[in-house]
Amino acid sequence: MHDLIIRGGTVVDGTGTAARAADVAVDDGIITEVGALDGTAAKQTIDADGLLVTPGVVDVHTHYDGQVTWDPLLTPSCWHGVTTVVMGNCGVGFAPVRPGDEEWLIQLMEGVEDIPGTALAEGITWGWESFGEYLDVIERMPHAIDVGTQVPHGAVRAYVMGERGAHNEPATPDDIAAMAALVRDGVAAGALGFSTSRTIMHRAVDGEPVPGTFAAEDELFGIGRALGELGAGVFELAPAGVMGEDLSAPEREVDWMRRLSAATGRPVSFALSQHNLAPDQWRDILRLSAEANAEGADLRAQVGGRPLNMLVGWQTFHPFKFRPTYLKIADLPLAERMVELRKPEIRDAIIGEQSANDDPVMKYIGASLDRIFPMGEPPDYEPGPDRCVAAIAARERRPEDEVLYDLMMQHDGRELLMFALLGYSYGNLDDMREMILHPNAALGLSDGGAHCGVICDASIPTFMLSHWARDRSRGERLPLELVVRKMTRDTALLYGLGDRGVVAPGFKADLNVADHDRLDLKLPELVFDLPGNARRLIQRADGWVATIVSGEVTMRDGEETGARPGRLVRGGR
């Protein structure tokens, strides 16, 4: 009598081998048999006839560092087949922390990752100082999925150097030794690695760059050696130039990363995106990384599964935000605002006005209507160039502002438009396809839990299976087996989690049952469900039939079951 049998599914096992029909048996949270199990009894059975059976998704780039302390589900990731998350990315997190510095860490996270500070302040119940104590607190909390984390440079630098660290002053040899000791202790306690940020786009609420942004090589190598001494952990970073702010930076970054990895024997994982100022530079970065790996380094570029988008609309932000007539109704609930915005006199007034605030972000959006596209429902993340606002306006011989206003009114004002910031320089995803296929690229950058009012990319696993492995035209789509492998085994192995990511006997029973034909994303929506009624964008999906963690069904048809088998992941295995 098995604990669970998933019967009659098409198993895509995470190794990249061809899909096959098989049953999957689970006992004590472990996969025990994969094959024909006719006549074998089980306490629980899931009928997977006509459905996919895959490993659970391992999402290695999230920012649930605060949310993990109040949300056992870790929404929205749990709605998209994710069974393990890795947080603590980009050098920001909440441990170690000196008593009295908690608010500073909140402001750092709020500025860098757009997580409302009010939610963090109200939601987090502090009870730690060291990184190990932070892990202990997480471990005591029930969760639906597994959680791993990394030691963040920003918190470590501030803990050791105080104001000097917060303001990015150079570290002394004693500072570096103290930081390395904290990182060593954190990884020894169970952290999966260390993270830092070197892009000047990452700033705290007060405008200060993240501590560590300008760290010299002696600091980076001193901390990296702590990982090497332990023979454990990933060195993760958002590199300089990741947002195109310094076009010469990425190649310089690869130079020190290759030397660091070779010297420590540890993988270095860095964010890589295409940006419009140098749309082909990513190829050079991957070429240099491949050359470094051939010489003994281990560099892994984290690439996204779809463009990095700001979502423009009445629910988020838009070029009309500071126009006088709009300001009069801006604070109304969405439904009441729609009543006003539908009035011809209101529409005409807003379209005809100039902004009362010279806000650079709003000006940037208003000047970028050739890269802003209506998404629709289900949302289209690969629209053709002829679907941008500017092209529609030219075709219809109407003012661009008028077209944008009318598009935003669709779906009762819930329409969101895709403003492609990164990864869409040529108006298609062909370059991203090439990135995903590169052997040194790891799928990441979902930013689950972060950018609450701007981006909603925790849904990338659903997009990978629906768009890349099903909806793209034949010859351009990605093989289903490769897509599953990239999201499961490959990301698990990057962080040393060799016990998951494969549907085979002996592996952890983290599994998904999905109706591939029915997998579709819903339009993102703004909700006010964070602590303190703070806002965030969420996105649900259809087609996920069951998500299983350690042999327990945690999600059925997009709704939680109440099971809480998730655990803190301490170190590789």
Count, residues in the chain: 573
- CA–CA dist 80, 512 (Å, integer): 10
Q: Mention every residue, 6+ apart, whose C-beta is less than 8 A from residue 268.
A: 234, 235, 236, 237, 257, 260, 261, 297, 298, 299, 300
Amino acid at 523: L
CB 6 within 8 A of CB 53: yes
Q: How far apart are CA 41 and CA 51, in angstroms?
A: 21
Is 470's pLDDT higher than 80? yes
Q: Assess whether pLDDT exceeds 70 at residue 343.
A: yes
Provide the CB-side half-sphere exposure for 508 (13 A, CA).
24
For residue 524, which of 57, 144, 76 has the smallest C-alpha distance?
A: 76
**pTM given for the model:** 0.96
Is the pLDDT assigned to residue 188 strictly greater than 90? yes
Residue listed under structure tokens 């963090």: 120
Q: What is the pLDDT of residue 499?
A: 98
The token pair at 555 is: 């999600």
Pairwise CA distance, residues 24 & 1, whole Å: 13
CB atoms near residue 357 (< 10 Å): 10
Q: In terms of Cα–Cα distance, which of 108, 69, 116 is closest to 535?
A: 116
Asked if 223 contacts 179 with a C-beta cutoff of 8 angstroms, the reply is yes
**How far apart are alpha carbons 37 and 71 in whole angstroms?**
37
In whole angstroms, give the CA distance from residue 210 to residue 218.
Answer: 18
Please say whether the structural domain 80-307+424-494 has been given the CATH code 3.40.50.300: no
For range 454-470, the mean pLDDT: 97
Residue 129 makes CB contacts below 8 A (sequence gap 6+) with 95, 96, 97, 98, 99
> Cβ distance 75 to 537 under 8 Å?
no
Q: Are 502 and 14 in contact (CB under 8 A)?
A: yes
Q: What is the pLDDT of residues 117-164, one digit of tens each?
A: 999 999 999 999 999 999 999 999 999 999 999 999 999 999 999 999
* Separation in Å, CA 162 to CA 157, 165, 212: 7, 5, 13
For the four alpha carbons of 337, 343, 346 and 352, in that order, the dihedral sign comes to: positive
pLDDT at 297: 98
SS3 513: strand
When pLDDT is averaged across residues 173-192 and rounded to a whole number, the result is 98
Nearest C-alpha neighbor of 162 from the set 463, 44, 154, 566: 154
Q: Is 301:438 a contact under the CB 8 Å cutoff?
A: yes
Q: Tokens for 564, please give them.
A: 């809480």
What pLDDT, on a 0 to 100 scale, did the predictor assign at position 350? 98
Please tell me the distance from the alpha carbon of residue 257 to that of residue 267, in angstroms, as a whole number: 9
Q: What is the pLDDT of residue 245?
A: 66
Structure tokens at 261: 């990895």
Per-residue pLDDT at 109:
97
Q: Which two tokens stand for residue 298?
A: 């281990």
The residues spanned by each domain of the chain are 80-307+424-494, 312-421
* Burial class (CB within 10 angstroms; exposed 0-12, middle 13-18, buried 19+) of 58: buried
pLDDT 10s digits, 371-414: 999 998 889 999 999 999 999 999 999 999 999 999 999 999 99
